[in-house]
Each structure stands twice: as structure tokens, then as C-alpha cells.
Chains A and B, each alone.
Chain A
Amino acid sequence: MEDQLLQFKQKYVEEAARLLEDLERDAMLLENNTEDIELIENVFRCMHTLKGTSSMYGFDNIAEITHHLENIYDLVRYNELSINSQLIEITLISADYVKSLLNANDKVSDENLVVYKKLVASIQKILDNPEIKKETKTERKKRVVPDTGFVTWQITFNPEESIITRRINLIYTFGDLFALGNYHIIQNEPFEDTTKFTIFVYTDKPYSDIEDALIFIMDYCKITRIANFDIFDDEALLKHKTSASNPTVEVANVIDNDVDDYILEEQNFLTDGDRSKNTNISKVRIGVEAAKLDELMYLVSELITSNSQLVLASKNPVYDPIRPIFEKIDKLSKLFRNNTLSLRLVPINEMVIRFQRLVRSLANQLGKEVELITQGTETELDKSTIDALADPLMHIIRNSLDHGIETPEEREENNKLRKGTIKITSYLSGNFVFIQIQDDGKGLDTEKIRSKAIEKGLISEHAQLSEKEIHELIFKPGFSTSETVTQVSGRGVGMDVVRKSISELRGEIEISSEKGLGTIFTIKLHQTIAILDTMLFQIGDMFFMVPLSDVEECRLVEHSELELRKNSNTVEYSDHLIPYVDLYKLFKLPKNENAKNLKMLVINRQDNYFAFAADRIIGEHQAVLKTLGEAAKKQSFISVASVLGDGNLAYLLDLTSIDNLIQIN
């Protein structure tokens, strides 16, 4: 039994960690959307689930703190408490506290004890003094109106035969209901079904308690809220009869007439459906060891290579009868590949949410007002890339907060908005993923950088540098402009480390800044598609590929036509003239002078058209890309290649550099 318990304990810890991530994310969203009922319910449910499962596995301290938070969010759900920054702060700190408890097997360290005591004090203050939320008349999802006092409820009970077949035990049901407060039972008219009756209960307990008492017979009951006072109390009735703000209730008729007449507010209470709407939609996730995925990736790439060989070999007419099978396998391999690749892809958004938290707390610490905006964060990157990016990005953001964005006062003096902005944008272009971090702070101070660089001996006093070159200096090792390395920016982690981390990912980082206006960091990364759909073609005895997604059209073009436009380096396409690149010249490959026609590929990259010719267009090829290494570094047109079925190498043409070539000419 003990081993089993341990095994499940581990699973519980993983589940709890995931819940905490969701909780953090929702709490942050909640701060800017304080009325969002779904978010409130999500947070409540997180606490609730954590509380429930934690004591099962001996995490009593976690159970305790989540219990407190569950109470708070219960109040929020019932409108007795409103969300504010302090509450969110408490929620986030509690989440951290729970995280550390999870990792410490529920042991409270000395530091944590301090955190805990502060938390409990803050929570207690809130619970002792809830701010009553102002009544908002806006149409919300139907919710329970606050039971801030006693309410008369009407419960009509219509039993059916199914109660017996469902083996419902009624013994405790009404007992529990009656225990809630003053009750009156009213039997309907004699000629009505005598098994039906109505119960009025006057209680200050919440609706959920009534629901709980009646849980077994909920299908046979109708529960309605009648009045905010005891309708069987003559005095109270009188008071409400004369009060102008309340509609009169004629109690004399309550027992005799159909009570429906007296229903003040027929609330459609949160049905089972509403309340658990979200549990259904929660994504089911399974944690998988990254190593297992790597193994899978490797197998997939081997499969693709073999598949490519198979496809090539099957072109032999001998295999015509079984061609459909080859095609099916080809199709399945591609689907399999796409699926597997996507397993490791994670939207950048997940990482960026963490930054929200960072920006919030750092801004607070530094006495600055900053907002983090994001765009295009659905862009996906391989998980390992994202993990590796977290630190460099955080460093850039920290710098931005510390040195870039000015204090609110300074900003106002310079006619800027008090609140600074840090914007993280992400987009795809060609084979690259771009991530930009932009702030509207004071930008880089070229003079300061210059003098610091001279001081550190990085440049000579007399060096003439352009502004851009001076900006680049911050990437030099050992460079740091702050006199005091603040706790915020960290020690010893300079922009040089950031650049190194990014180049390790085969990426680049550039900086652009304007004094007084702000700074932009642009990170360019390869889309880690190690397997790419390409169009394979041949020039001379060399094979080349271009990404299939960039190919607009393949067509025949007469040699004479190309000769005609030789000097203008253009070619006619669809009533336009588009640039033409002579790959024969570029790669010094022999032209076949005898061929009357050449095969031309028309490329379209984000409405950027150009064309080039080849001797032979072989067809679609699923390429497993392998980098060529140092030898290819001397030029920019080719950096990766793929092995063809017959052992030849096919080179992937880097269309961005071809594009640049066109721009230059």
C-alpha cells in the first residue's frame, strides 16, 4: 500500500504543479478583468481541487492555505467581495507558497514561515471585513444573489415513481432541509396529487446548502426564492407591506393560492450545468518525458528519409500496380511527421504569461508604471528553444524596466504617458521566427555607452563610430553601464551572454534604439523544422531545394525569352515583370546551350515575387535537413542540405539571401 501511495503522490505533485500554473495565469488575467465570472470560477475551482487532493497525500499545510483562499474566492463568487490588486497579490503569493511546499514535501522553511504568517494576517483581515460589492444591474450569467441575510425559500416537491427504481433514500433528505431554519410544510389542495407538497424554509444559509440537503431529489424539486423576510412572521410581513420599496405580499393568500404569484424574483439558480461548464472544457494534458519525444523525433526523421527513398525508387514503372500503396505510405508518413513535430511545438504565449508577473512585480519594486503588451504570441516554437529563450528574454525585459523605462514623473516631464509600455511581438517570416521586445523608454544613451566603452578599454578614445556601432558595443563581454548592478538586473549577466544564448540557438539578436523614444530588440530564430516539404530541382549535376510553401508556380520558359531580358534581369509573369535570378551564374554551373526550354520556378514570399530557372524540376521532396557546418559559412545562399535516396546531396536555397541579392542589384 505504501508504494502505491508514493507513486500516486508523485502524480499528485505533478498535477498540483500544473494547477498552480493555471491558477497563476488566471489570477493575472483576473486582475485586469475583475468581473470575469469564468475566471473567478476557475480560480475557485483550482483552490478547491488543490485543497481536496492535498490532504489526501499528507500536504496539510497546502490544504490549510488553499482552504483560506477557497473561502475568499467563495465570497467573490457570491458577490460579497470584490477583486482588487491586493487580493490578486495575496493569491499569487499563496501560489508561490504552495509551490515551495510542494517541493519541500509540505515542510515549512523558516523563510516560508514568515511568508505564511503575513499571508494569514492579510487573509484574516479580508475575511473579517469584506467590502460589500456594489449592486450592478448589468446582465450577468444568472447567479445567486447574495444571501446577506435571511431568506424565505420555497421548495416544491413532486415525487415520481423513479424515486423507487433509483433507490433513493429519503430518510435524511428532509431532515437536513428542516435543520436549515424555520420551516413550514404545505400540502396542496386535496384533489391534487397528495404526494406533492411545498416546503417553505426561512434561513440564512446559502443556496448551496439547500441544494446539498436535497441532492438526492433535486430532479423532483423546484426551488424558488420568495422574500427577504419570513413570510410567516406577521410583524415582518406588516413591515414589508407598508414599505414602499417592496411589492406587497399578501400572506393571507400564501397558503391558499398558487404561490407563484408571490415570487419576487424567480432566480434561475446556477444549475449543475452552468457551474461545471468549465470543467468539461479543460484541456486534458499528459506529461511526457522530453527524452521520449527526442527518440520519437529521431525515428520519425529516419522514417521520412526511408520514405523519400521509397518514393524515388517507386518511380520505376515496374511498381505501377502497387503505386497506390506507396502513395498511401507517403501520405501517412507526412501526416505522422507533422503530428510528431507539433508535439514539441509550444506557443510562445506560455512563456510570455510568466513575464507578465515579472513586469508587474519589478515595476512595483522600481516605483514605475509599466504595461506589458503582447502580439502574435500564438507563434509556436520548439519547447527546448522556448526554454532556452526564457532567460535571455527575461534579462532584456529586466533591463528595459530598470534602465529603459523612466519613472512616471520623468516621463511626464518629457510629455510621455505616465505608464510605460513594453511590447513583445512575434511573427513568422520565411523560415524564421521573429521575436521583438520594444519599450517606449528613454532609449540608449550613446554618449554614456561610448565613454564606458573607452573606460573599459573596448574602444580607443579616438575611434569614430556610427550610432549603430556604438549600440552594438553593449553586446561586448564585460560591458555594463550601471554603476551599481541593481538587484533587479542581476549580477554578471550582460547582453553578451544574451547574444551568446541566442546564437547557440542558431539565432541572431539586433538592437535598434533612439534616444528619448525607446529601444527595440529583434531576435531572429530558425523555425526548427528539421523536416521540410521542398521542391527539388536540378541545375547541372547539382541538386537544389526550395521550401514548397514558397513555390508559386513551375513553368516552361523559352531560352530565347530569357535571352531577351538578360540585361534587365527580369522575366514576364502574369502580366508583371518580376526579378529573375540566374542561378547558373551564381553557382558557376554550366548552362545547357542546346535546351530550347528551361524549367522556371516562380517564387512568392509574402507577395515578394521572383523567379529562377533550372535544368530539371524533379518534384516534391520531403527533406530531412542537416546543417552543412563550417564549410558553408563562407556564403549565405546554402547552409543546410538533405540526403537524397541515391546518396546525392540536395542543397536548400536560402531564399532570404537570394532576396537580398535582388535588392542589392
Chain B
Amino acid sequence: MEKTILVIDDFENSLFVTAFTLQNKGYKVLKANSGQKAIEHLNGQKIDLIITDYNMPQMNGLELVEKVKQDARYNRLPIFVLSTEIREEIKSNARKLGVTLWIKKPFKMEQLLNYVEKTINIY
């Protein structure tokens, strides 16, 4: 069964590379370059995982997570946050909000794929 991943990043280059990599692995990928656009994707369609950048203008990754958690249809989704941020307060905040995994940038693509597979059982 095809799995769908929603990827959010305001930096086009990263968004493209991440989406491209995931697509090559057989996932269906929805792209958004802002929190707002991401929320537009939450229209009832099936989504299995959200991968978002943290540092974004207007709505940062955690603010997006908050919004997602408020949506009854999507609040049981695993969520990864990608960030260069390492401050404990922010990561602890993320944990409280229910973020599944905080991935440090830069990261290896294989690692990300590894985490994705282990989270949504692509096999």
C-alpha cells in the first residue's frame, strides 16, 4: 500500500532534494513551502508521515506541529522535525508537543530514509 509523506521546507533546494529522494524510494510525496501551504494539504486525504523544517518564516515547524495536533484527523501522525537547532528548550518543547523525532541538520539522506522506513513500515 502506498504511503504518503508531507514534506515542508521554505528553502526550495532542500524541499526538492528531500522530496525527490523519498519519491525515488516509492513514497508518494506532498510538498509545501510554508506551514500555511502544509495545512492546505490536510484536507482529508491520507497522510502517513510529516517531515518539516523548523526554521521557517511566518509559521515555524513547531507552530505547524501545534496546528496539526489540533486536527482530529491528523493528530496521530508521526512527525519529524529537521533542524540545525540544538537548544534543549526547543527540543523539549518539541517533545511536549508530540514530535516523534528531531533530526539534526546536516543529515545523511540514508539516515532519513532509515528513520522513515522504521516509522511507517514501507515494506
Residues of A whose CB lies within 8 Å of any CB of B are 4, 8, 11-12, 45, 48-49, 52-53, 56, 162, 165-169, 171-173, 212, 215-216, 219, 272-273, 275-277, 279-280
Contact = CB atoms under 8 A, between A and B. Distances in A.
A215 B102 CA distance: 9
A279 B107 CA distance: 11
Contacts of A56: 17, 20-21, 109
B84 A279 contact: yes
A417 to B, nearest CB: 44
Interface string B10-33: 000100110011000000000000
Contacts of A45: 106
A272 B104 contact: yes
A276 B16 CA distance: 24
Contact of A216 (B16, B88, B101): B101
B16 A4 contact: yes
Nearest to B96: A162
Contacts of A219: 95
Contact of B118 (A4, A216, A279): A216
A583 to B, nearest CB: 56
B77 A167 contact: yes
Contacts of B120: 169
28 contacts: A8-B13, A12-B13, A48-B106, A48-B108, A52-B108, A53-B17, A56-B109, A162-B95, A162-B96, A167-B76, A167-B77, A167-B98, A167-B100, A169-B78, A169-B118, A169-B119, A169-B120, A169-B121, A171-B118, A215-B101, A216-B119, A219-B95, A272-B86, A273-B88, A276-B86, A277-B86, A279-B105, A280-B84
B13 A11 contact: yes
A273 B86 contact: yes
Given A8-B16, A56-B17, A165 B106 contact: no
Given A49-B106, A166-B100, A215-B115, A280 B86 contact: yes
B99 interface: yes
A8 B86 contact: no
B99 to A, nearest CB: 6
A276 B104 contact: yes
A283 to B, nearest CB: 13
B85 interface: yes
A100 to B, nearest CB: 24
Contacts of B84: 276, 279-280
Contacts of A162: 95-96, 98
B106 A52 contact: yes
Contacts, number: 72
B49 to A, nearest CB: 9
A172 B106 contact: no
Contacts of A169: 78, 118-121
Nearest to A271: B86
A172 B120 CA distance: 11
A53 B76 CA distance: 32
Nearest to A282: B84
A53 B13 CA distance: 11
Contacts of B115: 215-216
Interface residues of B, number: 31
Given A48-B108, A56-B20, A272-B104, 14 more contacts: A8-B17, A48-B106, A52-B108, A166-B99, A166-B100, A167-B76, A167-B77, A168-B101, A169-B121, A216-B119, A272-B86, A273-B86, A276-B86, A277-B86
Contacts of B17: 8, 53, 56
Nearest to B120: A169
A384 to B, nearest CB: 29
A273 B88 CA distance: 8
A1 B20 CA distance: 10
A8 B98 CA distance: 33
Nearest to A56: B17
A273 B84 CA distance: 10
Given A56-B17, A215-B115, A279 B104 contact: yes
B81 to A, nearest CB: 11
Nearest to B88: A273
Contacts of A277: 86
Contacts of B76: 167
Contacts of B16: 4, 8
Nearest to A216: B101
B95 A166 contact: yes
Contacts of A11: 13
A166 B76 CA distance: 8
A165 B95 CA distance: 9
A216 B105 contact: no
A92 B114 CA distance: 33
Nearest to B107: A52
A11 B111 CA distance: 23
Contacts of A212: 111
Contacts of B77: 167
Nearest to A169: B119
B89 to A, nearest CB: 12
Contacts of B96: 162
Contacts of B79: 167
A168 B44 CA distance: 23
Nearest to A176: B118
Which 7 pairs across A and B sit closest by C-beta, in order of nearness?
A167-B78, A172-B118, A165-B98, A166-B100, A273-B86, A276-B104, A279-B84
Contacts of A167: 76-79, 98, 100, 119
A173 B115 CA distance: 11
Contacts of A172: 118
Contacts of A165: 98
Contacts of A215: 101, 115
A173 B114 CA distance: 12
A8 B76 CA distance: 34
Contacts of B98: 162, 165-167
A272 B92 CA distance: 13
Contacts of A280: 84-86
A274 B77 CA distance: 30
A172 B114 CA distance: 11
A603 B59 CA distance: 54
A466 B63 CA distance: 77
A366 to B, nearest CB: 40
Contacts of A48: 106, 108
Contacts of A53: 17
A325 B16 CA distance: 47
Residue of B85, B88, B101, B121 most packed against chain A (CB within 10 A): B101
Contacts of B100: 166-168, 216
Nearest to A275: B104
Nearest to A49: B106
